[in-house]
Structure 1
Amino acid sequence: MSTKEKTETCNTKKFTELFSQLSYSSDDEQREKIEEMNEVMGKMNKEEFMSVFTKDLSNRMKEMTDEKILSMENAILLLKHVGYWKVLKCIYDFEVSDIFLSDRFQEMIIDEEEKKEGKNEKLLVDLCECYLSLSDMTFFKIHSICIPCLLKVAMRKEENEEAQKEVEMALLALSVIDAYFPIYQELYLNELKEIVKYHQEHHNLTRIAYQSAWKFLIKRIIFAKSLVDVVVNELHFARESRRELEELTRYIDRKKEKEEDKKGKEVKEVHIIGGWLYMLKSFFLFFRLRKEGLLMPLSSVVHMYRAARENYGEISEQCISVIKTAAGNRDMKIYGLLKIGAIDAFLEEIQQPTLNDEVIFDCLNFFLNVSNRLKEKTDNEMEEAKRKATKRKVLEKMEEEGYEDFIIGFHKKLFYFNNDLYYQLSLNVSDYFVNV
């Protein structure tokens, strides 16, 4: 058995042991054990996490609360930690949600909110965080309660560790709300702007909290185009995303520590990287580029790709997908992609010995976009001269790297790929060349 397997077995056994001890522990002892369980959850990988949180465990938790063996407050505390790690580990179709986050939790949130006297603000916050982070389906009435409640927590300015953690959990829960839920700007915009601007000046948020605030905003602009000016010009999305990605790239470059010393931290850092890449991809996909300045974060994505390629395959693939999406935006200039090294990155990627189908699709789609765009002539003499010069440089790079050989090799594979995934690609190899 490998060291990794032993560690994974140790994590699941430790969690199961602590959970079983809840049945004969006092209320205070339960809270201590739940905090220990939280630490163990942080060390679990996705497979371990899913293997522990089964329907059997969910049913047992429900029985324990019904029989007053586990107080509802402690059950909520445990579920709050579970939801936090569920989001960070990018886990979906979570069975715990079916048991606890049904009508029962919705009723508790509404009842607590509607209390005239004796409202338990802390309980309401915990309920909202559990509900948003664990539930696969949320409802507008709950949003109208949870969003103001959690933003009130997120606007706290204290910089001690406990306060920062509370703010982080509140913003992380908010960031989960699906982009397709319409939310009135009156519920969040002024507060989110204040949170982001204050952090830009005072650096009071954790990385996860700051990324979560941005993620909530970027999800909203997909159906609220009026927010684009706020995001780009007022809150400086290009500058902030570039700065965050550059710092995270330095983290990847320093990846030489022992696995056991950084495992929990790595889960968080990888989650934050994925969050910024998700936001950039969404922005390039849905919006016209307002400024050349948006090349700044894309340049950082190229640097991130090279840093992650050896040890973080999933991240490097995400970077490729982001750059491919940016190349498809009609306002993205090909000479800009050439300038920041995006074309070099794709030429490097297609030389990798093993590539999955989606990455091959992204590579071919990228070069098809580049090829088609460089064939588009213009009446503007300066732009036309720039197009021809860019075309010449791109072609020289492709010839130097043996681009044609790679495309022919991939062309043979296309017949075996899923046609639904590759419907956008031409099967004519010559379409993937920049013809002067």
Structure 2
Amino acid sequence: MPGMDNSKKFNGLLSELEDCTEIEQKEIVEEMKRVIDEMSNDEFRSVFTKEIFNKIDKMIEEKKISLENAICLSKHLGYCKVKKILFILSFEGSSLCKRFEKMMNNKNDKKEGKNEKLLVDLSESYLLMNPLPSPELISISVPCILKAASDKEENEEAKKKVEIALVTLGSIDKWECVGQELYLHEIREIIQYHQEHHNLSRFAYHSAWKFSILRLYRNRELEEVVVNELHFGREAARELDELAKCVDWKGREERWGEDEAKEAYMIWKWVNVIFDYFSMCELLNKEFIVLLSSIVRVFRAARDNYEIISLRCILALKEAENRAVKVDDLLKGGAVNAVLEKMQLQTLNKFETYEFLLFLIEIPIRLKEKKDRTADKAKRKATKKEFLEKMEELGYEDTITSFYGIFRFINMSYYPQISLDVSDYFVNV
């Protein structure tokens, strides 16, 4: 179908399915998957409406498409939706969604000869397409998907199945629906095996970590595994550094989110996971400063042309500052230097200014009020002195004073707790 846009191509191919044999259907479905891969985000949203999912369900009912082909197509749709970070609610509430839910509940019955592959395929299709899945079906799905993700075969088809399984797990945001007994041993083995054999793609490895980090909330046993056994700080820093070497930081970001293979896109995804790690993890080790340093390097590289990454980096650093890290670690990791450098540029927008000011303001407030984790009084006093010297060297006082005129605007618009007294932002040793 030369000359047609992808949405018309997809609808045309869907219509062709009605008069085909099952073997011909498989060939057309593979062509439909290729068309989906080439869709822009706007095309994707325009095609995959509630009406299209109801139509596919009706085709299953009328035996115009086999259930196997319908599930295969739906799973690929969900996989692409997650990679493109598209939030689409049209699947939820469709008759196809209800069909999948009913089948998954039936397949959960303890009957001999249960089709485990069908349950995996249904689970992946349902969870990838549905941003608001049923908690009961999440708990049914996770064990069988983890089993699929644990496959250690080396052929490309097996690796692709493992990637889809891990991407599915990484798409589950609801931490409370997945009991630790359902995943801890398996996800630990998957990550450890990759660390030894490098069998996963970057996206699959990131998804395994995302699933783990989103389970950290109030989970001290998993926190110990993540920090001291699986070494998240070391691994995330290495991923950031390797990806950063592949990005043309001087080029402008283009078609953000359209090409999921872009290294810059993967950096953004990793920084999001690191943000969640900082927000939920209280256990620290020596790898923490290494991770901070990697974020700072990415922040510096991205600050001119990749605003979406640089801003996310500063939010991650702020989260570390608020939740876990000592001021001394922020100094050693280079976070303070990097923020001051950015503050002195002429390209800041209002939101960036607000975020950077909050980052800088929090440090002296913590040191003044003895909120820092450094318990030793002499050590804390030495840190204060080092901080003052660093601030003087990098022009901290001039930077804060230069933004004094917009404090009132930020107070009214964003953050009413910001003081209008500039002296509050300097530390008295």
TM-score band by shorter chain is 0.7 to 0.9
Query: Aligned partners of 2:253 and 2:399: how far apart in 1?
Result: 38
Shift of 1:206: 1.2
- Which of 80, 104, 109 lines up with 2:104 in the alignment? 109
How far off its partner does 1:338 sit?
Answer: 2.5
- Per the TM alignment, residue 296 of structure 1 is displaced from its structure 2 partner at its CA by 1.1
- Partner-residue secondary structure (3-state), 1:222: coil
- Give the equivalent residue in structure 1 for 2:399: 403
On the 8 A contact 1:89/1:271 being kept in 2, the answer is no
1:115-143, Cα deviation, whole Å (9 max, x unpaired): 63443232211101011112233334323
Match of 2:143 in 1: 148
- In 1: Cα distance, 2:344 partner to 2:19 partner: 59
Q: Which residue of 2 aligns with 1:4?
A: none
- Which of these residues, 370, 385, 390, is aligned with residue 387 of structure 2? 390
Q: Choose which of 126, 129, 132 in structure 2 pairs with 1:137.
A: 132
CA drift of 1:284 comes to 1.7
The one-letter code of the counterpart of 1:160 is N
Alpha carbons of structure 1 residues 223 and 270: separation in structure 2 relative to 1, 3 Å: farther
Measured after TM superposition, the shift of residue 173 of structure 1 is 0.7
Alpha carbons of structure 1 residues 305 and 41: separation in structure 2 relative to 1, 3 Å: farther
CA separation in 2, counterparts of 1:50 and 1:245?
31
SS at match of 2:259: helix
Q: Which whole-Å CA distance do the structure 2 matches of 1:357 and 1:75 have between them?
A: 48
Q: Residue deviations 1:51-92, cap 9 Å, x none?
A: 221233223223322222222221111110111111112222
- Pick the aligned partner of 2:333 from 335, 340, 343: 340
Structure 1: stretches of 5+ with no match in the other structure: 1-7
Aligned to 1:11: 6
User: Is this contact kept in 2: 1:252–1:308, CA < 8 A?
Assistant: no
Partner of residue 43, structure 2: 48
2:322 corresponds to: 328
Q: Would the aligned equivalents of 1:196 and 1:213 in 2 still touch at CA under 8 Å?
A: yes
Post-superposition offset of 1:294: 0.7
Q: Does the C-alpha gap of structure 1 residues 270 and 79 become closer, same or farther in structure 2, counting only changes over 3 Å?
A: farther
How many Å apart are 1:433 and its aligned residue?
4.6
Q: Which residue of 1 aligns with 2:277?
A: 283
After superposition, the Cα gap between the structure-2 partners of 1:356 and 1:348, relative to the gap in structure 1 and judged at 3 Å, is same
**For 1:114, what is the secondary structure of its paired residue?**
coil
Task: Determine if contact 2:41/2:258 at 8 Å carries over to the other structure.
Answer: no
Q: Deviations over 1:277-298 (max 9, x none)?
A: 2222122222324223211112
Tell me the residue number matched to 1:165: 160
Evaluate the alpha carbon distance shift between residue 306 and residue 46 of structure 1 in structure 2; reply closer, same or farther with a 3 A threshold: farther
Distance 1:17 1:41 in 2: 13
**1:192-231 pair list within 5 angstroms:** 192-231=187-226
Find the counterpart in structure 2 of residue 380 from structure 1.
377
Cα 1:54/1:350, change in 2 over 3 Å = farther
In the superposition, the TM-score normalised over structure 1's length comes to 0.86
Aligned counterpart, 2:80: 85
Aligned CA-pair RMSD: 3.0
SS at match of 2:358: helix
Specify which of 301, 323, 329 is matched with residue 307 of structure 1. Answer: 301
Whether 2:367 is the aligned partner of 1:370: answer no
CA distance in 2: counterparts of 1:258 and 1:431, whole angstroms = 38
CA contact (8 A) 2:299 2:309 kept: yes
TM-score, normalised with respect to structure 2? 0.88
Count of paired positions: 422
8 Å Cα contact 2:149-2:162 kept in structure 1: yes
Give the drift of 1:238. 1.0
Q: Distance in 1 between matches of 2:249 and 2:420?
A: 42
* Separation (CA, whole Å) in 2 of partners of 1:232 and 1:403: 36
